[in-house]
Amino acid sequence: MTLSALWSYPIKSCGGVPHDRVSLERTGLKNDRRWMLVDSSGGFLSQRTHPEMARIRIGEHSDALDVSCTGHPPLTIPLEPGNGSPQRVRIWEDSIEASAYPEEINAWFSAVLNTHGRLVHLPDPDARPVNAKYGVPADRVGFADAYPILLTTEASLADLNARLAQPVGMERFRPNIVIAGTEAFAEDYWSRIRIGSTTFRVVKPCTRCSVPSVDQQTGAVGQEPMRTLATFRTIGTRVLFGQNVIHDSPGMLETGMVVEVLEERHNITA
C-alpha cells in the first residue's frame, strides 16, 4: 500500500491544496484548516449551508494565501491578521478564541457568498483538543470538524463509483490522505498504521453530511453520491466513508511512501 495523494484545506470548507510533500504538525497537515469563515455571531460557515464555498480556490505561499473565485477579483491574505481583533468563534460544541481579519478582507468573502462572512485565524495550535472519547490529552485539532486527519482509499472510491451512473472524484470527500493498493473498505478494519516514520491511530469512521453531494468545481448540489452510499454504507442512520485519524507525532509525508497496517480491529462502530 502507498500514499497516493495529500490534500490540505487552509480555509475550512473552501478549495483544497494538493501536495507532493507536506509537514505534519500539531493539528494535522501544515496550514490545514487554520482559517475559517464565521457569521456575525461567530458561528462557522461551511458547504452544508453555503455550497458556493467550494468555488473559492486557495493558493498557498510562505507568507500569504491567495484566494480567487470566478467573477470576483483575486485577493491576497497575510497568513496572520497582524493586529486583528480577538473573536470568540464556535465550531460545533467548541468555543475558542480566534483572530479576526480586517473588514476589507471580509468584504471579499461576503461578496462571494452573498452573506456576511468574517475570516478568522487560529493562532494557538493548543486551543482545541480532540474529543477525549477518541483521543489522548495531547491530541489537538484546528478548525476541522473534529479530528486532525481524514483518510480515504482509492479502492473504496472505485467500489462506490461502480455503483453510480456518473462517477465522482475523490475531491467530493475532502480527504487529507489517500491510500492506494488496498481492498475496498479495508480501512474499516485498521486500528493503527504507519506511513514513513509516523504512526497514526485510526479512531473512528467518518460519518458523512451533505457535503459529498456538492460539486467541488461548481458548488452545485445534487443527490449523489450520498443517495447511493446510504444504500450500503450505513450504521443506523449514519452514512460512512473514510476514517478519522490522529497522528502520534509530527513528521513529514510524501506521496509514494509505503503504508503499513500495524494493528487491526474486528468491529466497525460509528
Residue 269 is predicted with a pLDDT of 78
The residue with cell 483518510 is: 151
Residue 202 is predicted with a pLDDT of 98
Residue 219 is predicted with a pLDDT of 97
Question: Which amino acid type is present at position 264?
Answer: E
Residue 83 is predicted with a pLDDT of 78
Q: Are residues 160 and 207 in the same domain?
A: yes
d(Cα 146, Cα 149) in Å, to the nearest integer?
Answer: 9
Residue 142 is predicted with a pLDDT of 97
DSSP-derived 3-state class of residue 241: strand
DSSP 160-181: HHTT-SS---GGGG--SEEEES
Residue 11 is predicted with a pLDDT of 98
Q: Are residues 90 and 59 in the same domain?
A: yes
Residue 138 is predicted with a pLDDT of 95
Grid cell, residue 162, equals 461502480
Q: Could you tell me if residue 111 is inside a domain? A: yes
Q: Could you tell me if residue 208 is inside a domain? A: yes
Residue 154 is predicted with a pLDDT of 98
CB 43 within 8 A of CB 117: no
Residue 266 is predicted with a pLDDT of 87
DSSP-derived 3-state class of residue 214: strand
DSSP-derived 3-state class of residue 210: coil
Residue 268 is predicted with a pLDDT of 82
Residue 21 is predicted with a pLDDT of 98
d(Cα 69, Cα 50) in Å, to the nearest integer?
Answer: 14
Mean pLDDT by 10 residues, the chain (270 residues): 98 98 97 97 96 97 96 96 89 95 95 95 94 94 97 98 98 98 98 97 96 97 97 95 97 98 89
Residue 208 is predicted with a pLDDT of 97
> Which range of residues forms the domain containing residue 66?
33-121
Distances (CA, A) of 103 to 72, 106, 110, 119, 223: 17, 5, 10, 9, 36
> Nearest CA to 201 among 142, 156, 143, 136?
136
pTM of the predicted model over 0.85: yes
Last residue in a domain, options 65, 95, 121: 121
* Tally of domains in the chain: 2
Residue 4 is predicted with a pLDDT of 98
Q: Give the helix/strand (H/E) hosting 64.
A: strand 64-69
Last residue in a domain, options 92, 121, 150: 121
d(Cα 102, Cα 190) in Å, to the nearest integer?
Answer: 44
